Amino acid sequence: MTTETAAEAPSFPLTRGCPFAPPETATAFREADAPRRVTIWDGSTPWLITRHDQIQQVLGARGAFGADVTDPGFPNTSSAQPTVEGEIFFRKDGDEHLPIRRILNPDFTAKRSEALRPRIAELTEVLLDKLESGSRPVDLVEEYALALPTVVICEVLGVPYEESPVVHESSKKLVQLSLPMEEKVAAHQALHENLARNMEKKRTEPDDGLLSRLVNTFVDEKEQISFEDAVRLGTLVIGAGHETTANMIGLGILAFLREPEQRAILLSAPATYAGSATEEMMRYWSMVQTEPRRVCLEDTEVGGVLIKAGEGIICNLPAANRDPEVFAEPETLDITRTERRHIGFGFGIHQCLGQNLSRVEMQEAWPRLFRRFSGLRLAVDEKELHFHDDALTYGLEELPVTW
């Protein structure tokens, strides 16, 4: 067993030389088999884990690795992270995490998301109608990829459709890296106010949405959380699911544009291939690129390296999902692939809450778009597309298309 020193730890976040492949450094680390150190913004050198089996070991281990951003050894993304995220349930462990996760789970089961499919299909068609009657070229990131998760999450929460533009505008601003802080605070406030008002209304007009269940069951009946906590949970759910799903929808469209054979397979039998296409796109793009992060709580060996209590860990999903020990021809996009062990939604106790919902969204978004616009094509040269490379999630800034 080795206890590698911190020497020559490349700086993190890593960037991608090729937009369609994981960062070369992550791939090289994976090929070296063992965890290696990287240097983050504060000069500390957490371990980067890149192999599929080792990431499963870390994320699946109970008690040996923690998710608490306020732990001094946690590899934070900035000095603000512990202050901003310190109270968030998914940045916590054990009793501070699981009871809240259990409150939310029922609204995001596979069955519940499947029951929403007809409504998601309908909302998708409304967006497509708007695209068809609008001008071209059009930016599909703004008008489709971001728009769909917004109207869907409003449906899940029980925010009226007419108010979805408020949610759309606010959540878009929250993830814009370059936006001044005052504008972000104002956007957060607008979102918070909208959810609080809607939640208050559900006390007298209950429905089967998440806001209604939060306020009527968990605030008023069980007194498990405060009204403010419930509003915050609603905001969190919007924040966690908005940009992630949107980026995946955009990247998936680009992949189908680049690979007409894959598009033809999808359209030949959407009911058969939309499911496997979604899993393959999740694997291929692995767009969560700077998470999951953990702090080691007890000395643990991973891939022959001793990770010590108090040391930080960053898991690299893009490299793991191209691990040739798990996926045959991992660099190839193949929507008929049956190997589904990708970890694009994470693994273990913190595995994505909204994965079933975003699966249904992707499964409806891609075939419906390409069926409606059979001549869909990029309106710019592929080289002109901009990807955000060092953000938490990988994605396209814009996707200008025409037909």
Q: Which residues bind ligand HEM (CB under 6 A)?
A: 67, 90, 101, 237, 240-241, 244-245, 248, 287-288, 291-292, 344-346, 350, 352-354, 357-358
Q: What is the DSSP letter of 146?
A: T
**End-to-end Cα spacing for the chain:** 58
Instruction: Please state, as a whole number, how many other Cβ atoms lie within 10 Å of the Cβ of residue 395.
Output: 27
How far apart (Å, rounded) are the C-alpha atoms in residues 240 and 294? 18
How far apart (Å, rounded) are the C-alpha atoms in residues 344 and 67? 18
Q: Would you say 166 or 287 has its CB closer to ligand HEM?
A: 287
Instruction: Please state, as a whole number, how many other Cβ atoms lie within 10 Å of the Cβ of residue 402.
Output: 14
Minimum CB distance to ligand HEM, residue 402 (Å): 26
Q: Give the H/E segment covering residue 369.
A: helix 355-372
Instruction: Please state, as a whole number, how many other Cβ atoms lie within 10 Å of the Cβ of residue 27.
Output: 21
Residues with Cβ within 8 Å of 371's Cβ and at least 6 positions away in sequence, in order, are 267, 270
Q: Would you say 9 or 154 has its CB closer to ligand HEM?
A: 154
Minimum CB distance to ligand HEM, residue 103 (Å): 11
Q: Would you say 318 or 344 has its CB closer to ligand HEM?
A: 344
Minimum CB distance to ligand HEM, residue 397 (Å): 18
How far apart (Å, rounded) are the C-alpha atoms in residues 30 and 12? 15
Q: Would you say 379 or 388 has its CB closer to ligand HEM?
A: 388
Minimum CB distance to ligand HEM, residue 135 (Å): 29
Cβ atoms of 209 and 230 closer than 8 Å = no
Q: Is the peptide bond before 22 cis (omega within 30 degrees of 0)?
A: no
Q: Would you say 21 or 236 has its CB closer to ligand HEM?
A: 236
Give me 163's structure tokens.
């108010």
* Three-state secondary-structure class, residue 108: helix
How far apart (Å, rounded) are the C-alpha atoms in residues 399 and 382? 10
Minimum CB distance to ligand HEM, residue 287 (Å): 6
Minimum CB distance to ligand HEM, residue 292 (Å): 3
Q: Would you say 4 or 390 has its CB closer to ligand HEM?
A: 390
Using only C-alpha atoms, what is the Rg of the chain? 21
Q: Would you say 205 or 389 has its CB closer to ligand HEM?
A: 389
Beta pairing, strands 293-296 & 138-139: unpaired
* Helical H segments across 286-374, by residue range: 317-320, 355-372
Minimum CB distance to ligand HEM, residue 5 (Å): 27
Minimum CB distance to ligand HEM, residue 395 (Å): 10
Q: Would you say 135 or 335 has its CB closer to ligand HEM?
A: 335
Backbone CA torsion sign across 284, 287, 290, 295:
negative
Q: Would you say 227 or 345 has its CB closer to ligand HEM?
A: 345
Q: Would you say 132 or 207 has its CB closer to ligand HEM?
A: 207
Cβ atoms of 127 and 145 closer than 8 Å = no
Minimum CB distance to ligand HEM, residue 134 (Å): 26
Minimum CB distance to ligand HEM, residue 197 (Å): 21
Q: Is the peptide bond before 82 cis (omega within 30 degrees of 0)?
A: no
Residue number with the smallest Cβ distance to ligand HEM: 354
How far apart (Å, rounded) are the C-alpha atoms in residues 262 and 278? 12
Beta pairing, strands 312-315 & 377-378: unpaired
